[in-house]
A and B are shown apart, each in its own frame.
Chain A
Amino acid sequence: MSNSYLKLANGVDGFFIKNDRFNTTVLSVNFYLPLKSETISAYALLPYVLTSCSNEYRDFSKLNFKLNMLYGADLVVSSNRVMDMQHVKIAISVINDEFTINKNSVINEAMDLLISLIFNPAVLNNSFFEDDVEREKRKLLENIAAEVNEKRVFAKNRMLEIMFENSPYGISKYGTEAGAKALTGQILYNAWQEMLKTAYVRVQVIGKQLPGGVFEQITKCFNNFNRENIVDYKNVTRLEKANNIKQVTEYFNVTQGKLVMGFSSEICGQNAYDLLLATDIFGGGPYSNLFTNVREKLSLCYYCSASAVRGKGFVMVQSGVEAENAEQAQTEILNQLESIKSGNISDFTFSASQKAISGALLAYNDNLGGIDQWYSANITQNEPISPEEAANIVNSITKQDVINAAKGINLNTVYRLMPKKEGE
């Protein structure tokens, strides 16, 4: 697969990722803005307002009807954290013209639609329409409120909030209730303008061929904005090793408890595959220490797994535990990490992890959404390495690299979500 890279405007990179195994073409426009507590809510809401209607399709039913007519073109919208940036993704995927009933030109029509949603929204007098903002705001507020419903995700978010207290990184990707409530059509308009003027932008097209004129059209749209003060998106503030471990326990009406542990990592970076491997050996696949020992041998948890957020440099362990086992599970999880730090990694586990990770990387190119995520998550390099190149790096990592990476992993925060006792 060959990728081509084009600079479309100041701070706007265009990638064509050629892949001819799909029936579909994707256009994905990615904006990266500094993660700030005062703007998180605006950028959590903005992509949803932009993709619910537009100047051309004033009503979301009409827009959805249009998407149906484009052979079920899908809009993919999200607002997430990538490193210290808030990453706003607005993408469309559409079937290739050759598969339409009358060989219509749906690709270009879908690309035009996405571009018009981003650059030509329904606005008046420097403001989005309040009814559009209110409609999407209600849904955002309900998402924020509903975070408590699934305790596995809720417990993970609470741990992040505690670990990154006083930092915008600790705020939920949906922002806060107060932040969402304060949003108006005007605030959103200013955020939209700011995004188009200052965000780092990565435009990705994934498909058999680059649809004619798409990059040129996007360049033209950005040329209407004075793009001078592009945000610095490559620097990351890493969590330092904690002197005191933060421990918080909260009680809910549940039958099973959750134990989530957060760790700082001295190694940080999208391409830190040594950290990825160390975390996988610690608690990734079924060959990992947490699975084989804490879950299978000791039966302390129903699930118990570790994951690394490489771009920000931290590691999390998530587990489901009975209240009476929480203490022992925590001790055992830490013992397993210590065991890796002291070099206790079997050849079997090391090789299993290396094979599983490199295999998963090689599978990226078989998944459209995966490819889009891969290239939009890796912003430290102007031209990110491909999943195949990453697989080669993984295969060259040694046990000593993994031990060194593990040595930099240190407990920072423990969050326990526990069942309320009778009468509480």
Chain B
Amino acid sequence: METKIFTNKILGEDYTVTTLKNGLKIYIYEKLQFNSLYAVYGTKYGSIDSTFNVNGKEYTVPDGIAHFLEHKLFESEDGDAFSKYAKTGAYANAFTSFDRTCYLFSATTNFDENLNILLDFVQNPYFTAETVKKEQGIIGQEIKMYEDSPSWRVMFNMLRAMYFNNPVKIDIAGTVESIAKIDDKILYDCYNTFYNPGNMFACIAGNIKTNDVLEKIQNSVKNKEPINLTRIYPNEPNGVVNDYTEQSLDVAIPLFCYGYKINLQNKVSLYDFIAMNAFLKILADDASPLYKRLTELKLINDEFDAEYFCGNSYSAVIFDGESFNPSQVAKEISREVESIIKNGVDSLLLESVKYDMYGQAVKRYNNVESIGHMLIDAAVFNFDYSNELEIIKNLTETDILNAAALLNKENSVLSVVNKKV
């Protein structure tokens, strides 16, 4: 067991990261003045992990398994996890995204019992042909619900037009067809691969002592043989499949997602991540000249937003919102990107964005849930958040211009959900 302490000198607080012998990483942030506690047990396994090599053997599995497993793990032979949490009063949930599956609870009492429930059900899968079949019906309905969601559709339509092969373009829950191919055996295979402690993490924030948590987890976590896991992503050509895609749904105002696919050679560091977010704020936040122009031209409303969307094997910058003229919005954005690259950054605006990001980062520590999610990102991306405020303070125009230079109009896609006529 090895423990590292990460100290945020500005806030005067720290968190610890402990790696157990079996490879499990445990992130703990003490917030003793709070009533609540937020705990997550997660695996670096998401919807994009459909092809992989384990101990020398390659597998390709149907889309949607990570999410399917998330649903199924709540069940065990002696009842479902929800009914166990019901006895303690904790709030429990789980989520699956492109690169992770997380099981969580938040509670104000009974920490030991809640942690036992969490560790127990995630470590003890129980599926039968019958329960898998039933879940196919439930998830099928969930997939249909997303088919009716314009904001979900506009995003995935964009990803499909952006990526030739990368599985990030496939819905997290898979499709009705792909989940029909899932059976109990495939579920066990994927579980045994990705739910190995070496691929997992636990993140706990709130009213708890670090040593108590460590002792508890150490005593409850099963040791498994380490496995040699490599994720295999298909080769992704440069460029995009289509620069425009549209769909008609029952919407009153068209929705758009305008994205730039970014080809990255290296993994994104916390520094890169912060610099790109600072660039996006300078470019498109509500104090920017672009935001002002788009508002005055009546092209955007308060729904307009910009995001740096990145993970293992994919990276993109996405602008989304509602507009009666999405093509014009896209044109204005790309023009402004080029103008910043050519003319440099307004130094006063950069200064104000740094203050803004600094304050927002300080506010994150107001809440055990937001600290918990920060720890999840720390685990998945291997980020060290203790020096985040320093990074923000030291950002320069060069950092911003380096981030801006990653955006190439040739790699951009506009996705629109139009009103059905």
Contact A299 B148 (CB under 8 A): no
Which parts of B114-166 form the interface with A (CB within 8 Å)? Answer: 134, 137-138, 141-142, 144-145, 147-151
Q: Nearest CB to that of A254 among chain B residues?
A: B148
Proximity bits, B374-398, A CB within 8 Å = 1, else 0: 0000000000000000000100000
A362 touching B367 in the complex, CB below 8 Å, given contacts A65-B352, A253-B420 = no
Contact B358 A145 (CB under 8 A): no
In the complex, which residues of chain B have a beta carbon less than 8 angstroms from the beta carbon of A21?
31, 33-34, 366
Q: Nearest CB to that of B302 among chain A residues?
A: A139
Contact of A146 among B147, B253, B368 (CB under 8 A): B253
In the complex, which residues of chain A have a beta carbon less than 8 angstroms from the beta carbon of B298?
138
Docked CA distance A201–B275 (Å): 42
Contact A135 B144 (CB under 8 A): no
Docked CA distance A328–B135 (Å): 20
In the assembled complex, A128 has its CB within 8 A of some CB on chain B = no
Docked CA distance A252–B150 (Å): 14
In the complex, which residues of chain A have a beta carbon less than 8 angstroms from the beta carbon of B147?
255-256
Stretch of B62-70, B85-93, B258-266 lying at the A interface: B85-93
Contact of B87 among A147, A352, A366 (CB under 8 A): A352
Contact B151 A150 (CB under 8 A): yes
In the complex, which residues of chain A have a beta carbon less than 8 angstroms from the beta carbon of B359?
70-73, 94-95
A363 touching B287 in the complex, CB below 8 Å, given contacts A72-B363, A146-B251 = no
In the assembled complex, A93 has its CB within 8 A of some CB on chain B = yes
Listed residue (B35, B83, B368) with the most chain A CB atoms within 10 angstroms of its CB: B35
In the assembled complex, B229 has its CB within 8 A of some CB on chain A = no
Stretch of B231-239, B289-297, B331-339, B406-414 lying at the A interface: B289-297
In the complex, which residues of chain B have a beta carbon less than 8 angstroms from the beta carbon of A95?
359, 362-363
CB distance from A68 to the nearest CB of B (A): 4
Contact of A23 among B109, B303, B365 (CB under 8 A): B365
In the assembled complex, B82 has its CB within 8 A of some CB on chain A = yes
In the assembled complex, A225 has its CB within 8 A of some CB on chain B = no
Contact A61 B301 (CB under 8 A): no
Docked CA distance A299–B296 (Å): 49
CB distance from B289 to the nearest CB of A (A): 7
Which parts of A133-152 form the interface with B (CB within 8 Å)? Answer: 135, 138-139, 142-143, 145-151
In the complex, which residues of chain A have a beta carbon less than 8 angstroms from the beta carbon of B31?
21
In the assembled complex, A99 has its CB within 8 A of some CB on chain B = yes
CB distance from A291 to the nearest CB of B (A): 8
A302 touching B141 in the complex, CB below 8 Å, given contacts A60-B292, A287-B82 = yes
Contact B355 A256 (CB under 8 A): no
In the assembled complex, B108 has its CB within 8 A of some CB on chain A = yes
In the complex, which residues of chain A have a beta carbon less than 8 angstroms from the beta carbon of B322?
142, 146
Contact A23 B148 (CB under 8 A): no
Contact of A254 among B250, B252, B255, B358 (CB under 8 A): B250
Contact of A302 among B91, B138, B285 (CB under 8 A): B138
In the assembled complex, A355 has its CB within 8 A of some CB on chain B = yes
A359 touching B356 in the complex, CB below 8 Å, given contacts A99-B11, A256-B145 = no
Contact B250 A286 (CB under 8 A): no
Q: Nearest CB to that of B393 among chain A residues?
A: A101
Docked CA distance A238–B302 (Å): 35
Docked CA distance A245–B291 (Å): 48
Which parts of A21-76 form the interface with B (CB within 8 Å)? Answer: 21-24, 59-61, 64-65, 67-74
Proximity bits, A270-305, B CB within 8 Å = 1, else 0: 000000000000000111000000000001001000
In the assembled complex, B353 has its CB within 8 A of some CB on chain A = yes
Docked CA distance A367–B363 (Å): 11
In the assembled complex, B10 has its CB within 8 A of some CB on chain A = yes
Contact A286 B292 (CB under 8 A): no
CB distance from A65 to the nearest CB of B (A): 4
Contact B148 A285 (CB under 8 A): no
The number of chain B residues with a CB under 8 A from chain A is 72
CB distance from A25 to the nearest CB of B (A): 11
Docked CA distance A368–B349 (Å): 29
Contact B289 A359 (CB under 8 A): no
Contact B356 A72 (CB under 8 A): yes
In the complex, which residues of chain B have a beta carbon less than 8 angstroms from the beta carbon of A23?
11, 362-363, 365-366
In the assembled complex, A320 has its CB within 8 A of some CB on chain B = yes
A255 touching B36 in the complex, CB below 8 Å, given contacts A60-B292, A149-B252 = no
Contact B253 A135 (CB under 8 A): no
Docked CA distance A257–B271 (Å): 45
CB distance from B131 to the nearest CB of A (A): 12
In the assembled complex, B50 has its CB within 8 A of some CB on chain A = no
Q: Nearest CB to that of A61 among chain B residues?
A: B292
In the assembled complex, B107 has its CB within 8 A of some CB on chain A = yes
Contact A363 B35 (CB under 8 A): yes
In the assembled complex, A322 has its CB within 8 A of some CB on chain B = yes
Q: Nearest CB to that of B360 among chain A residues?
A: A72
In the assembled complex, B272 has its CB within 8 A of some CB on chain A = no
Contact A359 B89 (CB under 8 A): yes
In the complex, which residues of chain A have a beta carbon less than 8 angstroms from the beta carbon of B285?
64
Which parts of A68-127 form the interface with B (CB within 8 Å)? Answer: 68-74, 93-95, 99, 101
In the assembled complex, B307 has its CB within 8 A of some CB on chain A = no
Contact A68 B88 (CB under 8 A): no
Docked CA distance A352–B80 (Å): 14
In the assembled complex, B213 has its CB within 8 A of some CB on chain A = no
In the assembled complex, A376 has its CB within 8 A of some CB on chain B = no
CB distance from B364 to the nearest CB of A (A): 9
Proximity bits, B22-55, A CB within 8 Å = 1, else 0: 0000000001011110000000000000000000
Contact A368 B355 (CB under 8 A): no
CB distance from A124 to the nearest CB of B (A): 20
In the assembled complex, B61 has its CB within 8 A of some CB on chain A = no
Contact B36 A145 (CB under 8 A): no
In the assembled complex, A20 has its CB within 8 A of some CB on chain B = yes
In the assembled complex, B268 has its CB within 8 A of some CB on chain A = no
Given A95-B362, A146-B251, 13 more pairs with CB closer than 8 A: A23-B363, A73-B359, A94-B359, A101-B393, A146-B322, A253-B420, A255-B147, A286-B85, A302-B138, A302-B145, A352-B86, A352-B89, A363-B36
Give 18 pairs: A residue, B residue, CB < 8 Å, sorted on A: A24-B366, A60-B295, A67-B356, A68-B352, A68-B356, A71-B355, A73-B359, A95-B362, A143-B301, A146-B252, A255-B144, A255-B147, A285-B91, A287-B83, A302-B144, A348-B86, A359-B91, A360-B91
Task: List 8 tightest A-B contacts by C-beta distance, closest first.
Answer: A355-B89, A71-B359, A72-B359, A352-B86, A68-B352, A72-B356, A286-B82, A64-B287
